[in-house]
Amino acid sequence: MAQFLVRFTPLEPYFFGGDKTFSFEESEKQTYFIFSETLPQQTTFLGALRYFFLPEKDPLKVGQYAHLVGAESFDVRQEMPQDFGVIRCISPFFLLRGEEILVRTPMDHRMGYESYTPFGNFRTMQTIEGMKEYTEDFDAKNGVADGFMSLDSGRVYPIGDLITKQEKVRATTDEEGSSKVYHREYCRLKEGFSFAIFAELDVNPDTLSETKVIYLGQRKSAFSLQFFEAEGEFRRVQNKISLMLDRKTVYFFGDALVFHSIYEKSSFSVTQLVNYRSFMTKEGSIEKGKRLYHLIRGGSILRCDDEAYHELCRRISIENYQNIGWNHIIRGTK
């Protein structure tokens, strides 16, 4: 068993589908707008590793290689840990620039500051749900922080500075002379940056020394794939994040799916939701999940006392989810 830093570097603009990928405009020409998700889902990285370790690159043959990649795709309905062969677990994804690690910016960052500056000046007030906190540092017209934060410098990068959009247009005419125009919007990660995860793999590190090219997303965009031994690095990153946060702050390091309320005992929260719908490879076919789930987005924060924190840990500790990089929270120690 070994721990790795796994780097995914886009070699071209990428396209990741989501639950709301398409829109349509009725006019003289039928116009379709097709948008990529800005960031990949956590399950994208699990699927990429499973595909990489699959000897025959056919997702419908996974059952023949269950000892390497597991017999089935990640199933959100299962709370007990699934078997993914040599892939024991992966971390939430983050960005890399050289050796610099950037994680989702905590949503309590005060907009307008170049480095991470959390809300302060909290006051308490009595509500029908008990004692809650509020702060005048939050300005609604500035919105909520959406980007990545350097663990080395604390510098905050807005998402628009790291990922830009690129549109490709294609026009077609059918046999009846009707025209259709397709606007497909791709994303491009800024040069020098990569997506990355930590992974615990049951493989010989010597077999992963070469850079490979894999293809991800709906349009099979090319990414380079590199593995680096990184024993204990995931824990060191978690510790580094905790040192940047106030001791009452709980930070969502990646997305989380929680079936019980997490707000009732928190005194303050800044959260956003992201949609998730699964695609599963099972018994020789690919199935689209019927249910749409709403995940708490990485970077969300809560403020709570010791008792509420331990209750949150109990509600969020679902091993199958944590093994694929969901449901990881970090409490501040500053």
**What are the domain boundaries of the chain?**
2-331
Q: Which two tokens stand for residue 215?
A: 């293809």
Q: What's the pLDDT tens digit per position in 135-153?
A: 989 988 899 999 999 999 9
Residue 170 pLDDT level (bands cut at 50, 70, 90): confident
Question: pLDDT value at position 24?
Answer: 47
pLDDT computed for residue 134 by the predictor? 92
The answer to whether the CB of 222 falls within 8 A of the CB of 212 is no
Strand positions, DSSP E, 174-300:
179-189, 193-201, 212-216, 221-229, 249-252, 268-270, 273-276, 279-282, 285-288, 293-296
pTM, two decimal places: 0.91
Q: By the 8 A CB rule, do 150 and 157 touch?
A: yes
CB within 8 Å of 70: residues ≥ 6 apart: 50, 62, 82, 83, 84, 85, 87
Residues 117-139: tens digit of each pLDDT: 999 999 999 988 888 999 989 98
pLDDT in tens, 187-220: 999 999 999 999 999 999 999 999 999 999 888 9
CB contact at 8 A, 150 and 105 = no
Choice among 121-125, 172-176, 230-234, 286-290 with the minimum mean pLDDT:
286-290
Look at 132 and 28; give whichever has higher pLDDT. Answer: 132
Residue 271: pLDDT above 70? yes
Identify the CA nearest to 269 among candidates 153, 160, 173, 135.
Answer: 135
What pLDDT, on the 0 to 100 scale, is given for residue 260? 83
